[in-house]
Amino acid sequence: MEAKQVATAVGRGLVRRRELSIFVVCVAAAIYFAVTGSGFTTSENYHTIAQYVAPWIIIGAGEVMLLICGQIDLSAGFVFTLAPFVLTSFTGDGMPLLLALVCAVAISALVGVVNGLIHTLFNLASFIVTLGMAFFLEGMSLIASNAQPEAAPANGWVAQVFGRARWSELIWALAIVAVMQALLSTTKFGVNTQAVGSNPIGAAEAGIRINRIKIVNFALCSGLAGLGGILDGIRVGSFDPTNGGNETMFLAVASAVIGGTALLGGSGTIIGALLGALLLGIVYDGFNLTGVNANAFDVVLGIAIIAAMLLNVYLGVLRRKASR
Amino acid sequence: MTAQEEGSVTAGGAETAPEVIRAEHISKRFGAVQALKDVNLYVRRGEILGLIGDNGAGKSTLIKTLTGFHRPDQGRLLFNGTETALRSVVHARSLGIDTVFQDLAMINDLPVYLNLFLNRELTHRPLPVLRRSEMRRRAREALDSIGISIPSVDTEVGQLSGGQRQAIAVARSVYAESTQLLLLDEPLAAMGAKEGGQILRLLKRLKERRDIAIILIAHNYAQIVDICDRVNLLQHGEITLDRASQETSVSELLELVHAEYGVN
Ligand SMILES: Nc1ncnc2c1ncn2[C@@H]1O[C@H](COP(=O)(O)OP(=O)(O)OP(=O)(O)O)[C@@H](O)[C@H]1O
Ligand SMILES: [Mg+2]
């Protein structure tokens, strides 16, 4: 009797809270790999997973905001690539690391402002604007780096805090998730972002400045991507022009979508993207450990994205029925 | 019976009450479409003005001009006798002009209570943090007092029926504090007889308060003649009739509208 009640409650929770269902899948995947693969449950391996997922989480947090307001940023992956070289151009001129870092993140955010302005002023789909921006930034990264990796700053507390210290990149990722989720779900800005994505005309009629909301979210997404690129580079110890790029961006978007964010705008959560990234990270790492061909990861990723979309639709229908 | 009621209200002072809004020589063009041509219109405090006209006549454009959503190409607006250039919907709202748009401006992905407070969310000032429970409580109160029945204020608006959504849109504007001018663009279009009647009764109650001016767009002339003090007919962007409801009838209005097409 009681077990049955618990089961119904859990079932209802799974339907109502999209994140819970991904969390359950994450745990299931972790248990599977812990049982079948050797070395999954070591601190070393957790660290490896953290390294995979941190960039996806950080970029994903920004992409969720953009997706919720009905936009997407395909250039975030190359902001991630370029930002470290912006940083070294400043430190090369003798600027202190912390200041250079702040400037590099600000310039990254400015890329988002440009994306947002082109989108809003010329009414050009953000898909197109940011696709163009992606190629532009890829070229700029190669020019700025001479297509060569550079040593990343490694000394001093700033480098320690921003990626060098073990786990620091993951801690940044989690802190970003907390802040962005609070922004989304507890502030007027978050509600307005949802309104803009769900019904832009209605939002405008209610007096919401939809262009401003969009531009701020483009800036947030790019700024986070820039910060993510710098953290990741400092962690690795070198800034590499082949790091980041489209693959990182698409994995971030995939994390968001698996986490329940609607591609057409209006709904989604940052925590969902965190869990989506975690799921991808666990599977990727698990495949490595169990010796499955890395190419199979993409096969699973493809299936996971489509399955997540189907689940979204299905759970949406269930939720509607439940609330009747 | 209704005619008598209205007669007393009109005689009771609506005709001499001050004008809340007056539009003078308003024109608005969208590319090749001249949506409004030299439109003049006014409403007095305590009065309901009915605005009728065919699809595409320019009714919504006129409403959107009066609420600061569109800037007129020509002409001026007098709000409480003072020339006022409305900069935005928010500006209009701050003056006490509130609107139910024809498309309702409802956010399907947000719950009822957040729609009721859309872009005027209660926050813990000076922080921009939402006061959700207070908004829920006030939303429940507002809906109860109109008698709108919905499952819960937490229901996503996208899951409600067309009539329920419309009722919420009306509630949102009616319960805004310090509204002086209420603009309603076909608020009854999707409503059943019972719910429509509820909204009409609500409008009558507002009128009895005598401190608010209302412009109501509807295609149901019986409703217009029943509830409005005056009727304006908009044809191809021009006002072609301005008459007290008592001096007209549903059949006359139908005749006037059809005359244009040579229908007997
Ligand atoms: N934003 C816009 N851009 C271009 N044309 C517009 C716009 N808004 C309205 N129009 C045009 O202006 C004219 C008047 O439209 P409006 O919506 O005001 O009509 P209406 O009287 O409200 O019609 P309905 O009864 O169908 O609601 C139409 O020809 C319409 O196509
Ligand atoms: Mg209209």
- Give me the pLDDT at residue A13, please: 63
Residue B194 and residue B66 share a domain:
yes
Question: What string of H, E and C letters represents the secondary structure of A149-160?
Answer: CEECCCCCHHHH
Whether pLDDT at A12 is above 60: yes
Q: Are A214 and A221 in contact (CB under 8 A)?
A: no
Alpha-carbon distance B24 to nearest alpha carbon in chain A (angstroms): 23
Residue B185 and residue B83 share a domain:
yes
d(Cα B235, Cα B54) in Å, to the nearest integer? 7
d(Cα B79, Cα B82) in Å, to the nearest integer? 5
The arithmetic mean of pLDDT across residues B79-107, rounded, is 94
Mean pLDDT rounded to a whole number for chain A: 92
The region of weakest confidence among A78-92, A296-310, B210-224 is A296-310
Q: Which DSSP symbol is given to A173?
A: H
Percent of chain A predicted with pLDDT > 90: 74
Give the distance (Å) from ligand 2 centre to CA of residue B102. Answer: 6
- Give me the pLDDT at residue B15, please: 62
Residue B87 and residue B186 share a domain:
yes
Higher pLDDT, B148 or A321: B148
Decide: B57 in ligand 1 pocket, CB within 6 A.
Answer: yes
Residue B157 and residue B32 share a domain:
no
- Give me the pLDDT at residue B41, please: 96
Residue B120 and residue B194 share a domain:
no
Mean pLDDT rounded to a whole number for chain B: 88
Q: Chain B partners of A263 at a C-beta cutoff of 8 Å?
A: none
* Tens digit of each residue's pLDDT (9 = 90 or more) over B135-149: 999 999 989 888 788
d(Cα A112, Cα A82) in Å, to the nearest integer? 13
* Tens digit of each residue's pLDDT (9 = 90 or more) over A243-291: 999 999 999 999 999 898 988 889 999 999 999 999 999 988 998 888 8
Whether pLDDT at B4 is above 60: no
Whether pLDDT at B5 is above 60: no
Decide: B230 in ligand 1 pocket, CB within 6 A.
Answer: no
Domain count, chain B: 2
* A206 CB within 8 Å of a chain B CB: yes
Residue indicated by tokens 């009728």: B52
Percent of chain B predicted with pLDDT > 90: 61
Residue B255 and residue B233 share a domain:
yes
Which band of pLDDT confidence, cut at 50, 70 and 90, is reported for residue A303? confident
| Residue B185 is assigned to a structural domain of this protein | yes
Q: Which two tokens stand for residue A85?
A: 């070289």
Q: Are A14 and A24 in contact (CB under 8 A)?
A: yes
| C-alpha distances out from residue A234 to A80, A153, A158, Å | 12, 6, 10
Q: Are A66 and A217 in contact (CB under 8 A)?
A: yes
Decide: B166 in ligand 1 pocket, CB within 6 A.
Answer: no
| Residue B250 is assigned to a structural domain of this protein | yes
- Give me the pLDDT at residue A11, please: 66
Q: Are A62 and A214 in contact (CB under 8 A)?
A: no
Q: pTM for this one? A: 0.89
> Do residue B119 and residue A267 have CB atoms under 8 angstroms apart?
no
Question: What string of H, E and C letters represents the secondary structure of chain B?
Answer: CHHHHHHHHHHHHHCCCCEEEEEEEEEEEECCEEEEEEEEEEEECCCEEEEECCCCCCHHHHHHHHCCCCCCCEEEEEECCEECCCCCHHHHHHHCEEEECCCCCCCCCCEHHHHHCCCCCCECCCCCEECHHHHHHHHHHHHHHHCCCCCCCCCEHHHCCHHHHHHHHHHHHHCCCCCCEEEEECCCCCCCHHHHHHHHHHHHHHHHHCCCEEEEECCCHHHHHHHCCEEEEEECCEEEEEEEHHHCCHHHHHHHHHHCCCCC
Residue B26 and residue B55 share a domain:
yes
Residue indicated by tokens 């693969």: A37
Residue B160 and residue B65 share a domain:
no
Q: Chain A partners of B93 at a C-beta cutoff of 8 Å?
A: 207
Percent of chain B predicted with pLDDT > 70: 92
The arithmetic mean of pLDDT across residues B69-81, rounded, is 95
Whether pLDDT at B262 is above 70: no
The arithmetic mean of pLDDT across residues A136-159, rounded, is 95
- Give me the pLDDT at residue B34, please: 95
Q: Which residue segment(s) compose the domain that B143 sits in?
A: 112-177
The H-or-E segment that residue A295 falls in is helix A295-323
| Residue B69 is assigned to a structural domain of this protein | yes
CATH number at residue B80: 3.40.50.300
d(Cα A257, Cα A312) in Å, to the nearest integer? 9
The domain defined by A36-293 folds into: ABC transporter involved in vitamin B12 uptake, BtuC (1.10.3470)
Question: Reduced to 3 states, what is the DSSP secondary structure of residue A176?
Answer: helix
| Residue B12 is assigned to a structural domain of this protein | no
Which band of pLDDT confidence, cut at 50, 70 and 90, is reported for residue B208? confident
- Give me the pLDDT at residue B249, please: 87
d(Cα B9, Cα B219) in Å, to the nearest integer? 24
Residue A217: what are its φ and ψ, rounded to 5°? -70, -35
> Do residue A208 and residue B159 have CB atoms under 8 angstroms apart?
no
- Give me the pLDDT at residue B257, please: 80
Whether pLDDT at B254 is above 90: no
Among A109, A130, A257, A262, residue whose Cα is nearest residue A194: A262
**From B106, B128, B151, residue closest to A202, measured CB to CB:** B106
Q: DSSP secondary structure string, A3-27? A: HHHHHHHHHHHHHH-HHHHHHHHHH
Whether pLDDT at A185 is above 80: yes
Whether pLDDT at B21 is above 80: yes
Q: What is the total residue count of chain A?
A: 324
Residue B213: what are its φ and ψ, rounded to 5°? -110, 140
* Tens digit of each residue's pLDDT (9 = 90 or more) over B227-240: 999 999 999 999 99
Among A119, A144, A142, residue whose Cα is nearest residue A129: A119
| C-alpha distances out from residue A187 to A5, A103, A131, Å | 35, 27, 30
Straight-line distance from the first to the last Cα atom of chain B, in angstroms, rounded to the nearest whole number: 30
Cβ contacts below 8 Å, chain A against chain B, sum to 75
Identify the burial level of A177 via C-beta atoms within 10 angstroms of its C-beta, where 0-12 means exposed, 13-18 middle and 19 or more buried: buried
Which band of pLDDT confidence, cut at 50, 70 and 90, is reported for residue B7? very low
| Non-local CB neighbours of A220 within 8 Å, separated by 6+ positions | A62, A65, A109, A112, A180
Straight-line distance from the first to the last Cα atom of chain A, in angstroms, rounded to the nearest whole number: 25
Residue B206 and residue B166 share a domain:
no
Residue A139 Cα to chain centre, angstroms: 23
Which of B34, B51, B61, B71 has most ligand 1 atoms within 8 Å of CB, for mutation?
Answer: B61
**From A188, A189, A198, residue closest to B107, measured CB to CB:** A198
The arithmetic mean of pLDDT across residues A36-64, rounded, is 95
Q: DSSP secondary structure string, A41-72? A: TSHHHHHHHHHHHHHHHHHHHHHHHHHHTT--
Identify the burial level of A70 via C-beta atoms within 10 angstroms of its C-beta, where 0-12 means exposed, 13-18 middle and 19 or more buried: buried
The arithmetic mean of pLDDT across residues B66-71, rounded, is 96
Whether pLDDT at B6 is above 50: no
d(Cα B95, Cα B86) in Å, to the nearest integer? 9
The region of weakest confidence among A6-15, A73-82, B57-66, B252-261 is A6-15
